[in-house]
Structure 1
Amino acid sequence: MRPRFLAAAFVLFCVAAFLNLREAGSQGSNASGFVAPVAMALPELLHPAVDPAFGTSVVRITKPGPLGNGVVCGPKYCSHRYSSAQAWNADQTLLLLANGCNGMCFLDGHTYVALFWRNRGGECEWHPRNAELMICVQGRTVSTWAPRTNHEDILFTSADYHDLQFGPSKGNPSRDGSRIAVRAVRKDGADVVFAYDLDHREKYPDIDLSRVPGKASSCTISPLGAYILCFQNLPDGTEQRAVFNVDGTLRQRWTDHHRPGHGDLTVDSDGSEVYVGISKSDPDKFHIIKRRLSDGKVTSLTAYGQAEHASTRAVAKGDWVFLSYGGDPAEVAANPGWAPYAREIIALRIDGSGAVRRMVQTRNPPSDYWSETHASPSPDGTQVIWSSNWGVPGGPVYEFVARLDWREHQNPKEVVANDQP
């Protein structure tokens, strides 16, 4: 099917889905209580369907085997990289599948037709402003790379460091794409992190990670480039957080376990940089919380719930966090004091108002890591990519994109949920 025809068909479908959503009544996005699972057949590949629970348009974009133009999905899963990693480029013309594909696999960002694949090492994340570029870290180098042309420009290289990493896994550039945090092993064997300014090709001072207890698992620059947030694993299983200024000053140590974790960074309405995720410590265990990088202040945003991952990749909707909920629907239904979401993707406003957008039921019973939902929105928040085994634990894990229409939800009071702490 031709991409132009797919695009036209999708526009017509979205009109129908919008009308269907308006008729969804108490089961639409404004519903604040538990919504029981609604059966839905597995959508055909690249054929838009409607989620019967919330009226949202859904497209399945993968299947095991060839997708076209040399792109091939593995038999078990084929997915975007992670909830806190941006899957789309800056103008949403390209969509990246990084797990279970035969390399880095690029789809059309709107029709989801397979376009091309690249075989390269290292860790690469989309540049948030330049749609043609990714920022890559590998070996001894930091570079920018254009996937369409396969052209690479080396920005930083040094014999004084090796094993450079972008995170690993949880690294993101600053919102303007000017800074990243680079993990490295210095020539004296020290495990360090440093900020790097891509625009000015300027390296900031080394931060020796042995200064704080535990083993650093990952580090990332903050959205405004002011801080480096590092995740520290202690021998007793506690996962702590350390916040450094880019000059190396230790600003905060969060010694409570996973408070929060499985989260993402964004900028609050007052300009503060915050980490939003799932707390695994009292007094807000299994709440969604935000924690301010400057002083560690914690704000609980929901009641106890079954959220698994949080993403703030929708920069244009920076005051919303996209949440992937797992859990057993029967258990959630039996506990009215809990956040009323099970196997569902929602967006939650982080201003404390309780405003919620209910998006789609994932039909994704627990199985393994690769089948976790890991919802990640596009930069403008109109699309969200997610994974599901579609009711078959151990079966193939497919990728889906839900298309979102924010226009009918201008007033947060229309979507205030009853799950506040």
Structure 2
Amino acid sequence: MTCGRRHALALPLIFAVACLDPHAAASQANNTSTRFVATPAMELPDYLRPTVDPVFGETFTRITKPGPLGNRVACVKDYCSHRYSSAQAWNADQSLLVITNGCNGMCFLDGHTYAPLLKRDRSGECEWHPKNADLMICVQGQRVSTWAPRTDREDVLFDSKDYHDLHFGPGKGNPSRDGSRIAVRALRADGAEVVFAYDLNLRRKYVDIALGQLPGDNDNCSISPLGENILCIQELANGTEQAVIFSIDGALRQQWTQHHRPGHGDMTVDADGSEVYVGISKSDPDRFQVIKRRLSDGKVTSLMKYGEASHASLRALGKPGWVFLSYGGNPDEVSARSEMAPYAREVVALRLDGSGEVRRIAQTRSIDFDYRSETHASPSPDGTQVIWSSNWGVPGGFVYDFVTLVDWSEGPKSN
């Protein structure tokens, strides 16, 4: 990969910096934990060719491209990426990686080489089982099931004529961290919209929680990491998004009435054993800060100051204590404002303990254009791989997926 004059001139708004020597840039980055780090111009890496990030020193690989990839796997002409930041892209042993956005089905890649392996035509919502590497948990129509992508075997766990239009979230649902429980949103036979917990091991459905009793329209619901609570996001007519937390037995535990405090986030178990929701606040007094909020009592802790963080992911279940953040924004604006978190078009890992310790992972070079061009970084279960999306500096251009390898044996890079 080269840092050519032609490429730099083609992208004046993105990389208004001189091309940097990789070793000098990496040395600079290692001493700038509280400083903005410029992004050198860089040509798009070749498909499936490992490349070294010239600033942070991590190896990363472009894993999608337009058109056929092989083994019946093919991408559309505009984008080809993993589903979302809070959705796990890898299975439990990281042997498989799933691509769903802009692929011609559910497209499964080798979890380490990223070579295309197989395509499945599958509807409904499926998420990886966090413990069983062979299985996904799927919700569709009237059914909850487990499904093995390699063999295409499905085992139906719940099928009831009393409920229809079942959803896993929709879109933002995850199983409990042991894979035993999920939250299912559904329409009951009498027309009521409800959510209920379902235990996959015991094949037990918990009580209906009526969503019609809440203000606004339901956007999504998810089971908590320990499987004891359900977090629902409600959107009001004025655009305010509130969070409501129930026990799986239907008791109302918390109602956070502030808009997105937090939002675009994910849940985990904190060091003290409490369940927390981590994301980006869009309300005072911590507007546009990264915060964590305890499900039990709503206590808020600020983790990172005002900045351009857009999504938070806690899918590294085997590496607790870290949240993986996607940052957008304009580098010129961020570098000029010392009161802001010094990250623009980056993926970073941030400690949840409030210390502010950061490991900088990737410079994405993705210009804000539309939803598809957002980075949506998501780590593998052990945190050694992070998948992220980028239009590589071309507004409206193809949105590729990349994977960065993270070597934690060296200790966190404060950068």
| TM superposition score normalised by structure 2 | 0.93
Native 8 Å contact 1:30 1:358 kept in 2? no
- SS of the residue corresponding to residue 316 of structure 1 reads coil
> Which residue is equivalent to 1:239?
241
> Which residue is equivalent to 1:290?
292
Q: Partners of 1:28 and 1:228 in 2: how far apart?
A: 41
- The aligned runs of 1:206-285 (5 Å cut-off) are 206-285=208-287
Q: Partners of 2:253 and 2:62 in 1: how far apart?
A: 44
Is the aligned partner of 1:135 residue 2:137? yes
Distance 1:394 1:294, change over 3 A: same
Distance 1:119 1:29, change over 3 A: farther
Distance 1:163 1:287, change over 3 A: same
Native 8 Å contact 1:326 1:342 kept in 2? yes
Q: Partners of 1:65 and 1:90 in 2: how far apart?
A: 28
Q: Equivalent of 2:329, from 322, 327, 330?
A: 327
Native 8 Å contact 1:21 1:28 kept in 2? no
Distance 1:377 1:73, change over 3 A: same
Q: Partners of 2:23 and 2:172 in 1: how far apart?
A: 35
> Which residue is equivalent to 1:163?
165
- The aligned runs of 1:95-244 (5 Å cut-off) are 95-244=97-246
Q: Partners of 1:284 and 1:345 in 2: how far apart?
A: 21
Percent of matched pairs sharing the same residue: 69
Q: Partners of 2:147 and 2:410 in 1: how far apart?
A: 39
Measured against aligned partners, the alpha-carbon deviations of 1:296-346 in whole angstroms (never above 9, x if no partner) come to 000011110000110000111221000000000010011011100000000
Is the aligned partner of 1:346 residue 2:355? no
Counterpart residue type for residue 71 of structure 2 = N
- Which aligned segments of 4 or more residues in structure 1 are displaced greater than 6 angstroms? 20-23
> Which residue is equivalent to 1:42?
44
Q: CA deviation at 1:212?
A: 1.6
Is the aligned partner of 1:90 residue 2:55? no
Q: Partners of 1:217 and 1:306 in 2: how far apart?
A: 24
Distance 1:269 1:186, change over 3 A: same
Q: CA deviation at 1:33?
A: 1.0
Q: Partners of 1:61 and 1:100 in 2: how far apart?
A: 13
Counterpart residue type for residue 123 of structure 2 = G
Native 8 Å contact 1:21 1:54 kept in 2? no
Q: CA deviation at 1:193?
A: 0.1
Counterpart residue type for residue 334 of structure 1 = A
Counterpart residue type for residue 102 of structure 2 = G
> Which residue is equivalent to 2:5?
none
Q: CA deviation at 1:22?
A: 11
Q: CA deviation at 1:29?
A: 8.1
Counterpart residue type for residue 94 of structure 1 = L
Counterpart residue type for residue 292 of structure 1 = R
Measured against aligned partners, the alpha-carbon deviations of 1:277-312 in whole angstroms (never above 9, x if no partner) come to 000000000000000000000001111000011000
- The aligned runs of 1:14-93 (5 Å cut-off) are 24-28=26-30, 31-93=33-95
- SS of the residue corresponding to residue 24 of structure 1 reads helix
Measured against aligned partners, the alpha-carbon deviations of 1:135-194 in whole angstroms (never above 9, x if no partner) come to 000000000000000000000011100000000000000000000000000001000000
Counterpart residue type for residue 282 of structure 2 = K
- SS of the residue corresponding to residue 304 of structure 2 reads coil
Q: CA deviation at 1:23?
A: 8.8
- SS of the residue corresponding to residue 315 of structure 1 reads coil
Q: Equivalent of 2:374, from 357, 372, 393?
A: 372
Native 8 Å contact 2:91 2:97 kept in 1? yes
Q: Partners of 1:21 and 1:148 in 2: how far apart?
A: 43
Native 8 Å contact 2:33 2:358 kept in 1? no
> Which residue is equivalent to 2:312?
310
Q: Partners of 2:30 and 2:349 in 1: how far apart?
A: 14
Q: Equivalent of 1:392, from 391, 394, 401?
A: 394
Q: CA deviation at 1:266?
A: 0.6
Counterpart residue type for residue 158 of structure 1 = S
Q: Partners of 2:397 and 2:28 in 1: how far apart?
A: 32
The count of aligned residue pairs is 394
| TM superposition score normalised by structure 1 | 0.92
> Which residue is equivalent to 1:4?
none
